[in-house]
């Protein structure tokens, strides 16, 4: 369980890769930075827009999600990108 965490939206000033899907994003992309303490360790990572929206939809907030693990959710749904998974999950909620 996370003891302390916060997130903020930043516009990247260098190339960052998303911690969850491992894709890299160019300078000037809006990404979400999560930081806090988890199990006594300080963490700080960049996350792309699609992955950050997927976290609450996938109900994985408590257990957390490891580096690159978003892609296993994406491929489990026979999709290729987190954006496609987001679209699929959001359309399920609306209908
Ligand atoms: Zn991502």
> In percent, how much of the chain has pLDDT > 70?
89
> How far does the centroid of ligand 1 lie from the alpha carbon of residue 25, in Å?
9
Q: Quick one: DSSP state of residue 22?
A: -
> How far does the centroid of ligand 1 lie from the alpha carbon of residue 61, in Å?
15
Q: Quick one: DSSP state of residue 24?
A: E
> How far does the centroid of ligand 1 lie from the alpha carbon of residue 34, in Å?
13
Q: Which two tokens stand for residue 10?
A: 């930043």
With helix as H, strand as E and coil as C, how does 28-46 read? CCEEEEEEEEECCEEEEEE
Range(s) of the domain holding residue 34:
2-94
| pTM for the model | 0.82
Helical (H) or strand (E) element with 11? strand 2-11
- Residue 59 belongs to a domain with what CATH number? 3.30.1740
> How far does the centroid of ligand 1 lie from the alpha carbon of residue 40, in Å?
25
Q: Count how many domains the chain has.
A: 1
Q: How confident is the model at residue 1 (pLDDT cuts 50, 70, 90)?
A: very low
> How far does the centroid of ligand 1 lie from the alpha carbon of residue 21, in Å?
4
């Amino acid at each position: 369980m996370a003891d302390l965490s916060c997130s903020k939206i930043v516009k990247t000033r260098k190339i960052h890769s998303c911690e969850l899907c491992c894709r890299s994003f160019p300078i000037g992309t809006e990404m979400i930075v999560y930081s806090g303490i988890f199990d006594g360790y300080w963490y700080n990572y960049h996350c792309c827009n699609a992955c950050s929206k997927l976290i609450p939809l996938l109900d994985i907030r408590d257990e957390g999600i490891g580096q690159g693990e978003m892609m296993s959710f994406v491929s489990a749904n026979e999709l290729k990108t987190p954006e496609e998974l987001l679209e699929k999950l959001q359309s399920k909620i609306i209908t």
